[in-house]
Amino acid sequence: MRERISVEELQEEAITDVKQRIDAVKAELSRFIVGQDDVVEQLLWGMVAGGHVLLEGLPGLGKTMVVRKISEVMDLQFSRIQFTPDLMPTDITGTNMIQPNEQGGQSFVFHQGPLFSNIVLADEINRATPKTQSALLEAMGERTVTVMGEMHQLAEPFFVLATQNPIELEGTYPLPEAQMDRFIMKIDVSYPTRDELKEIAVRTTGTSVQTLEKLVDASFIVKANQMAKQVLVAEQVLDYAVHVTMATHPDNEHATDDVKNYVLYGSGPRGLQSLIAIAKVRALFDGRYNVSVGDIKRAAPAVLRHRIFLNFEGEAAQVDKDQLIEELLVSAEERA
């Protein structure tokens, strides 16, 4: 018979279990996905934090494939929506259709759209019109869709993992600031290295077919999310995160010279909430029950880069937002 154990020991066991299972998920994905370790890691951060994630990168870098394989290993219901200018809101939310009933008459029956999945891949999200994007905004913010005045609840958990091309602007509708802010993170998908490119060619042009094992399910994501929320944040770590967030505004006294010169406006409160949420998940993945300044620094670029908007001078100078964030992190550490 097992001896009685303390609450602290139970917590330690639960944290260890989450870490081991996440490590197993990453290892399984690495059997198929070449490189992109940071992309996979950050996608898992965003999902366990309960947020939506925007992936930006050139065509052909495997953004769609990464999302699809994550859904396989995590045994989550997956749907893919190819966003185009002629996509209508009902194409993604679903619609009421007339069907015969048992009484011999006809009645409206709601047919669910592709949003009714655990993972929704919104491919080339910036190609949809604002009308369709607004329907997606409700789903992302409220986890519901409204059709003909009737509200329908979405699946639990529910994630929008969206992709967009950073260079092709013809036929696109830039995402409004309110919708950009709904994404907990924006991940930049980089070009593979020389060795990774060779390995991709070897794996994808042969006859072998790689099947991945299902290692976790939706209940694990919900459980891990609840555990992450309980991770502790010390006062000085919270102050550091607040300092960094406020310093993204050009009128803040602690803003760097580059922020004052090149930024139009910075992150709002949701940016700070996202920063803390992601830092908590990162600590959990590392087997810790407290957030460190290092967690904040590691999470900051992906959390803040799409919440900083450059002014005309900044756009003209092609200022690197990640460099601005790095300067803010250094400045905040010096003042701590």
Neighbour-count burial for 264-278, b at 16+ CB within 10 Å, e otherwise: eebbeebbbbbbbbb
Residue 209 is predicted with a pLDDT of 67
Residue 3 is predicted with a pLDDT of 52
Q: Where are the domains of the chain?
A: 1-86+114-203+217-227, 230-336
* Burial class for 221, CB neighbours closer than 10 Å (0-12, 13-18, 19+): buried
Answer yes or no: same fold for 1-86+114-203+217-227 and 230-336.
no
In whole angstroms, what is the distance from residue 110 CA to residue 98 CA? 9
- Per-residue pLDDT of 77-101, as tens digits, reads 999 999 888 888 888 888 877 777 7
Superfamily grouping for domain 230-336: Magnesium chelatase subunit I, C-Terminal domain (1.10.8.80)
Cβ–Cβ < 8 Å for 147, 116:
no
Neighbour-count burial for 143-165, b at 16+ CB within 10 Å, e otherwise: eebebeeeebebbebbbbbbbbe
Domain spanning 1-86+114-203+217-227, CATH class? alpha beta
What pTM was computed for the model? 0.88
**Angle, CA of 129, 133 and 135, to the nearest 5°:** 125
Cβ–Cβ < 8 Å for 145, 115:
yes
Average pLDDT per block of 10 residues along the chain, 336 residues long: 52 84 90 84 93 86 85 91 88 80 73 89 86 84 82 87 76 74 90 82 73 87 91 92 93 90 91 95 91 94 93 90 92 74
